[in-house]
Chains A and B, each alone.
Chain A
Amino acid sequence: MSRNVSIKYALDWTTVIFYVILVVMGWLSIYGASYNFDQSDIFDWEQRAGKQFIWILTAFVLGGVLLLLDYKIYNYFAYIFYGAVLLLLIFTIFAPSSIVPDIKGSRSWIVLGPVSFQPAELAKIATALVLAKFMSAYNFKLKNWKDLLPLALLIFIPFSLIILQKETGSALIFVSFLLMFYREGMKGIVLLIGVYAIILFVVVIKFSIIPLQPEGATLGIILAMGIIVLTQFVYAFFYVKNRKEALIFLLGIIVIAGLSVLLHQWIPLNYNFVALFLVVISCIYWIFVELFNRFRKYWYIVSISLAAALFSFSSDYLFNKMLESHQQIRIKVLLNMEEDLIGAGYNVNQSKIAIGSGGLWGKGFLNGTQTKLKYVPEQDTDFIFCTVGEEHGFWGSTLVLVIFWLLLMRLLRIAERQREVFNRVYAYSVVSILFFHLMINIGMVLGLMPVIGIPLPFFSYGGSSLWGFTMLLFILLRLDASRLERLT
């Protein structure tokens, strides 16, 4: 029993309290969301709030059991656990539909009698553990691109298996490990490139509907090329501080652009290609600057520029030629290019209506009309935050976000106090996964992100996701508690 006592002292109770608060708030929100005029018993087992109550109790038991297990097993069994989860994912793809039914087009749920769960939830945990194991190896350093390769493979396998289950939302979460890599030494430029790519994509798509010329040039591509050239200028002027070269560059670009407009009077030019030509010319220019000044600093910007140009053109092409129209519409709705209140925009519009109608103080617990009358789709799972927004208003939803923020800050602190690399890597994985879920889910509900169906941690209805997040968190708490254990 001495071990139990030490857990009691070593356990980070602050995190546990935030966890319990979030779970209980989620439970009340589910009750609010599925509240009907006829039934009102929060413990009615036939209702979702009643069922969630059972999931919560079992999740608490699960958390307790995880705390009682030896912390070393996570390290020892990381590869085996990872392998087992991969097998389960493969099994899910090929299992008969009696066990893995088709739910809204995705085959990701294993149904065994009354219990159903998503192996993808386990895959996040297993991947976090296996990455921690791999990166805590004695001579592992995350410095070069080539160190990233095995890590990328460890992520890519479960990622692609989940994609094959058509569960794109869960798969996207695996991108979140980039944040952990960043902490572990990955170059910050990778994150910046990611943001850069998103900006280019949005610009290209958002302005692609504005045809500039009969030749087929679009404002989107020209703006994107402009951004690339501007980036080069900013890089040279402010970062490398080659002020003279940068100003000559800017002048040259303006002259060439002006000439091409003049030339257009006699020879019809496609401005898309004029813009591309400008990017290529500027890349050649920077290579010359590099050769003559013996700076080794332009190699990056040139390759990034070329990649960005390629990316812009292919985004334009992929979006307009390859994406199916319903996927196009989802993105267009998000970028405010189209209003489609019956189709793709319906969910988000209803979600905004529900939240917006909450006002400052909300309509009061169980008084929300939008969620109660089922205007918001998936109101107790993916769109559960709407209930909070409608019934508890601005202060209530802000409160929830603040508690999430406190939890994440607490976890960051826990992560940094680990002396074991394994523990720290795992802790950062937990932070990244929770943060990505939060960002994508709330972003979607608020109409800032595309509609990607993933649950809000601890809030959304369902045993599978609640158990998944509980495991994720309590494994971390167990690892954290071992810190003191070793001292005693």
Chain B
Amino acid sequence: MINDTLQNRRYVIAIIISVVLGIFILRLFSLQIFESKYKEGADSNAFLKKTLFPSRGLIYDRNHTLLVYNKPAYDITLILREIRDLDTLAFCKAMNIDKSYFINRIAEIKDRKKNLGYSSYTPQIFMTQLNIEDIATIQQSMYKFPGFYVQKRTLREYAFSGAAHVLGSIGEVSQKRIENDNYYKSGDYIGRDGVEYTYEKILRGTKGIEILLRDAKGRIKGKYENGAKDIASKAGENLTLTLDIQLQVLGEKLMTGKIGSIVAIEPQTGEILAMVSNPAFNPSLLVGRQRSKNYSELLHDPEKPLMNRATQAQYSPGSTFKLIQALVHQQLGGINEVTRYSCNGLASSPIRCTHSHGSPVGLLNAIEQSCNPYFWNAFKSSVEKDGYGQKNMLFKKNYTDWRNTIMSFGFGKKIDDSDIYEQVRGNIPSENFYNRCYGETGWRAITIRSLSIGQGEVLVTPLQLANSAAAIANQGYYISPHLNKNDSMQKKIHHTLVEKKYFLIVIEGMSRVFEYGTARASRIEGLEMFGKTGTVENSRGKNHSIFMGFAPRENPKIAIAVVVENAGYGSVYAAPIFSLLVEQYIKGKIERVELQERITKIVTNTNVKER
């Protein structure tokens, strides 16, 4: 009977059914146990991890005057997967953007090369740093655009228009930083320069997370486990700077219309009281949506307003270097307090003297009158004191001693235990450098004579110059100049290679500069000041006007370096700026209002824009 063989077909049918269900079970195994990506998919689906941004630490000056604080700002974020039926035109109109911007922005967001953390499930930043006025109108129409969200952030607000180079700015974190530091996500803000950069970790605080349950339409259905897994954000710590904002503002005012820089340091602590670089700009220019436009404008200004000249520009120190030389030559035995050299004024050789004074001169008079022949002879005496020796070995050894002693004042290297990250090295040329230039035996004291008067290859930054003034004021040591008023910074003490006993005569000489010398026009009645002018020849036009000095003699309170580029005599520009700053800082106010007005009005460079 046919049914008998057909009956066996039930086994075929049973096998078909079993095989299909078996395949399903294998598939379940692979989905549920073998692969982990679905678990992650589920989490990013259901959990809206909302970042809670901490408020950034505030910044104060040394007298607890608030300098930098926060104001609310808003980001527009989007979750691409949640965007439904977007009316692009209406959206662009509400956001006040054009359609091409919209298209570009979406393309950028989707581009995994530019946007590493891209996922269509997580919030991506569409527009950043909208201010409260922008957002007020946008917020009303937000409901029409599902998938777009408003996220509250904070932006910097500045109480003063100055100190931009010191304070620095914050901006969106770079792609490279995101790759190296997983704290940051695309669109986060980070300190880009100044103390905002150096103290990023202190100021930024810690981000928190709020985990919300979200349904498929993006509606929030409450907190996950009632917030048990949430992490609160931790506000950033406040930062107190060493700056005296009054002094800073005065310094910036005095530099109006000039290119150059001022650094003022409290010698006993290394605290930077003022750090001025001009041309400057208002720090609020680099905040918010106009940041990139303004930044590029500043970047392309030929006068380089973004550069912090106080730490990044290097100049020949000119005659101000004679103070350090006076100390080093004494230490090296090249001269002592009774050493005298003759000076033939303009007829002197190989370096002529630009001042008229009696001859021969001792150290005190040489400092007071800035006598070039004296310092040439002193230099020669120091480096040639043992003659030249075989293959100039003795001379080179003495030269290296000279260089090391000079560098012990903080020259020719970055002050790397400071908290100022934008610094250049300056230059005190090495033996090797001259060997390369002139050959192993091709150079002698006469070859490098311009070093003796602070010209030639020697380069210093205004910060280094101010720091050396502090070292002189302290009679033998300096504390690394710094911006954070935290006490631990003051432990970074560096002793110079010049013994304390050699300082007195130099300080006396610096006093005479005000009594009888090049700075006598900048005297203040009843306040003893110490300093030295410099008038530095350079290849780019008029001489740089330089001054370094400190005050008072006992317990010196302030050491200052002033550089005014291409202005002329040190005594005419830099010296009065020095004396006004000292007056402000020590007396608390300016009595010589007329002088202040006059200096402020001087314009040495017409290209300097006020920003």
Contact = CB atoms under 8 A, between A and B. Distances in A.
A416 interface: yes
Interface of B: 2, 6-7, 9-10, 12-14, 16-18, 20-21, 23-25, 27-29, 31-33, 35, 37-39, 41-43, 45-47, 81, 120, 213-217, 221-222
A15 interface: no
A352 interface: yes
B42 A357 contact: yes
Interface in A341-390: 341-342, 349-350, 352-360, 369-370, 373-375, 389-390
A370 B46 contact: yes
Given A183-B6, A359-B33, A401-B25, 16 more contacts: A183-B9, A341-B120, A342-B81, A355-B28, A356-B31, A357-B38, A357-B41, A374-B217, A389-B32, A394-B32, A394-B33, A404-B21, A405-B21, A435-B20, A438-B21, A442-B24
Nearest to A443: B24
Contacts of A412: 10, 13-14
B25 A431 contact: no
Nearest to B80: A342
A415 B10 contact: yes
Nearest to B5: A185
A60 interface: no
- Dominant secondary structure at the B interface: helix
A356 B215 contact: no
A394 to B, nearest CB: 4
Given A369-B46, A370-B42, A374-B217, A398 B18 contact: no
Of the candidates B31, B35, B215, the one having the most CB atoms from chain A within 10 angstroms of its own CB is B31
A463 interface: no
A373 B38 contact: no
Given A184-B6, A355-B38, A405 B32 contact: no
A356 B24 CA distance: 13
A409 interface: yes
A138 interface: no
Given A356-B38, A359-B33, A408-B17, A185 B2 contact: yes
B32 A446 contact: no
Interface in A314-358: 341-342, 349-350, 352-358
B534 to A, nearest CB: 70
Given A369-B213, A370-B45, A401-B25, A356 B32 contact: yes
Given A355-B32, A405-B21, A448-B27, A374 B38 contact: no
Nearest to B35: A356
Contacts of B6: 183-185
Contacts of A393: 32
B42 A353 contact: yes
A360 B213 contact: no
B8 to A, nearest CB: 10
A183 B13 contact: yes
A247 interface: no
Nearest to B222: A37
B28 A394 contact: yes
B24 A375 contact: no
B28 to A, nearest CB: 5
A356 B13 contact: no
A179 interface: yes
Contacts of A438: 21
A457 to B, nearest CB: 14
Given A37-B221, A183-B9, A442-B24, A375 B45 contact: yes
A154 B33 CA distance: 45
Contacts of B24: 401, 442-443, 446, 448
Contacts, number: 123
Interface of A: 37, 141, 179, 182-185, 188, 341-342, 349-350, 352-360, 369-370, 373-375, 389-390, 393-394, 397-398, 401, 404-405, 408-409, 412, 415-416, 428, 431, 435, 438-439, 442-443, 446-448
21 contacts: A141-B2, A179-B13, A182-B13, A185-B6, A188-B12, A341-B120, A350-B45, A355-B28, A355-B38, A356-B38, A357-B43, A369-B42, A373-B46, A373-B213, A373-B221, A375-B46, A389-B31, A397-B32, A435-B20, A443-B24, A446-B31
Given A355-B32, A359-B33, A389-B32, A398 B25 contact: yes
A438 to B, nearest CB: 8
Contacts of B33: 359-360, 394
B32 A416 contact: no
Given A373-B45, A416-B10, A352 B38 contact: yes
A476 to B, nearest CB: 16
A446 B42 contact: no
A446 B81 CA distance: 22
A33 B238 CA distance: 50
Contacts of B21: 401, 404-405, 438
B28 A182 contact: no
B216 A374 contact: yes
Contacts of B41: 349, 353, 356-357
B119 to A, nearest CB: 11
B221 A356 contact: no
A35 B41 CA distance: 21
Nearest to B213: A373
A355 B31 CA distance: 7
Q: Which 8 A-B pairs have the closest CB atoms?
A: A356-B38, A357-B42, A369-B46, A373-B215, A353-B41, A374-B216, A356-B31, A394-B32
Given A37-B222, A182-B13, A353 B45 contact: yes
Given A183-B13, A412-B13, A356 B217 contact: no
A145 to B, nearest CB: 17
A375 B45 CA distance: 8
Contacts of A370: 42, 45-46
Nearest to B38: A356
Nearest to A349: B41
A354 B14 CA distance: 30
Nearest to B44: A353
Of the candidates A360, A375, A412, A438, the one having the most CB atoms from chain B within 10 angstroms of its own CB is A375
A390 B23 CA distance: 19
A15 B213 CA distance: 42
A373 B44 CA distance: 12
Contacts of B7: 416
Contacts of A439: 20
Contacts of B12: 182, 188
Nearest to A373: B215
B471 to A, nearest CB: 66
